Amino acid sequence: MRYLPKSPADREAILKAIGARSIDDLFAPIPAEYRLNRDLKVPRQMAESEIVDWFRERSRENGDGYATFLGAGAYYHYRPVIIDSLISRGEFLTAYTPYQAEISQGTLQSIFEFQSMICELTGMEVANASMYDGSTAAVEAVMMAARLTGRRSVVTARSVHPEYREVLATYALHQGMPLAEAGFSSSGRVNLKELEQKITDQTACVLIQSPNFFGTIEDVAATAEIAHKHGAMLVVSIAEAVSLGIVEPPRQADIIAMEAQSFGVPLGFGGPYCGVIATREKNVRQMPGRLVGQTVDRNGKRGFVLTLATREQHIRREKATSNICTNQALIALMANIFMTIYGKVGLRELAKQNLAKAAYAAQQFGKHGQVLFSAAARFNEFVIQTSEDPYAINNRLLGHKIVGGFPLKKFYPELGNAALWCCTEMTSRSSIDTVAGLLAESERSVKSSKETDVEEVTR
């Protein structure tokens, strides 16, 4: 086996040194009746070239070469090549959690820079070293709010990503946290009136997402005011991190739970991604996850360490703020490099291109369907209601090597034929125009079949 650095002679020498007759001696603690005396039924050992071929075949079967209009919590942005050049360095790739600070300063300083940039972008005072993803970060933020307020229940906007809400439901059930939901208004934003009605004196927090699942930017200030009036916290989830380049961050929030996938992390069929939690300094001791802090060594030289570990499971065990241990350090490093590349000016320009592409697409598609929720501002996603079933439209688009928008009926049956479309800097005008053409055809064919129906009825 090519990964194993021992010759048969080495193995013999080691067995001899240990004083064992054979390798079986070392497995003697396992009761004989359970020992596996056959080969595992897994594929035979493959050469590297065979492995590459096998996965190339799988890659070809997996939408390789399609343009996509899908967003909905996972975004296709350009990944500058130096991200992979740098994260492929073995010193980053093959290190573990920086418990031994003296030989982990590279990882520690980069996490410190990540935390700092997340603070700059979110307008918060502290950010952690990362969480699993946006969905679990949102849930951990909610549980954090419950600890901070001493209250148990949560009011969630239905305009929060449906899968995030499903994850929250899973966790909340066993935490004894009652959940209530508030619907959305005709602007696509959370219905503030309904939200306020759902808040009780036991509400720990209100959870919204902005831009929300429909791409609409929520009125964070108004939502915060309502939550705070009732002694609840406001948790804001951000699924499309690039929005922070041009959309005012939810500064009125008490806790922000982010998905940083848009910052240079491949779509990768849903993961690994990079969650992160940011908040006010006063809340830091209830924050889950690892944190890096600045300090000095014995000679007064600046250095970085994991800090405030007394919140964490390896110290506090069942009284910890969370059971999280491993986070997403390498993915956070991707995000860190991405933020560094685009920086203060580039991130805004990038966000502006997203805004412009989505605005153009919404305008073109809107000629052959109805743009929903148009009363409120949005970033790079929008909802189009068509006469025809969006699954049927998407099927035809596949023939043009285009993946269409996300049909919303799966999560919002009341929205009928509405679909959520996303444009990023990667979306070309020609693919937008191709889709617009197909939407026009779809509109015509539905209209003519209706006319035929009418004629038939009259006859």
Of residues 199 and 339, the one with the C-beta less far from other proteins: 339
Distances (CA, A) of 380 to 27, 76, 94, 142, 373: 58, 11, 36, 26, 14
The piece of 111-119, 185-193, 380-388, 442-450 that touches other proteins (CB under 8 A) is: 111-119
Pick one of 21, 150, 201, 344: the residue that binds other proteins (CB under 8 A).
344
414 lies in the binding site for other proteins (CB under 8 A): no
C-alpha span between 218 and 216 (Å, rounded): 6
Strands 233-238 and 203-209: parallel
Contact between 385 and 49 under an 8 Å Cβ cutoff? The reply is no
Of residues 46 and 454, the one with the C-beta less far from other proteins: 46
457 lies in the binding site for other proteins (CB under 8 A): no
**What is the DSSP secondary structure assignment for residue 217, as one 8-state letter?**
P
Beta sheet of 370-372, edge-to-edge order: 370-372, 381-385, 418-422, 406-407
85 lies in the binding site for other proteins (CB under 8 A): yes
Three-state SS sequence of 386-453: CCCCHHHHHHHHHCCCEECCEEHHHCCHHHCCEEEEECCCCCCHHHHHHHHHHHHHHHHHHHHHHHHH
Pick one of 232, 244, 253, 335: the residue that binds other proteins (CB under 8 A).
244
115 lies in the binding site for other proteins (CB under 8 A): yes
20 lies in the binding site for other proteins (CB under 8 A): yes
Q: How far is the CB of 195 from other proteins (least distance, A)?
A: 19
**What is the DSSP secondary structure assignment for residue 201, as one 8-state letter?**
T
179 lies in the binding site for other proteins (CB under 8 A): no
Of residues 398 and 454, the one with the C-beta less far from other proteins: 398
Contact between 203 and 232 under an 8 Å Cβ cutoff? The reply is yes
Of residues 65 and 459, the one with the C-beta less far from other proteins: 65
Residues 268-327 close enough to bind other proteins by CB under 8 A: 268-272, 284, 290-299, 301, 303-305, 307-310, 312-320, 322-327
31 lies in the binding site for other proteins (CB under 8 A): yes
Of residues 14 and 454, the one with the C-beta less far from other proteins: 14
| Total interface residues for other proteins by CB under 8 A | 198
Token look-up 């961050």 returns 249
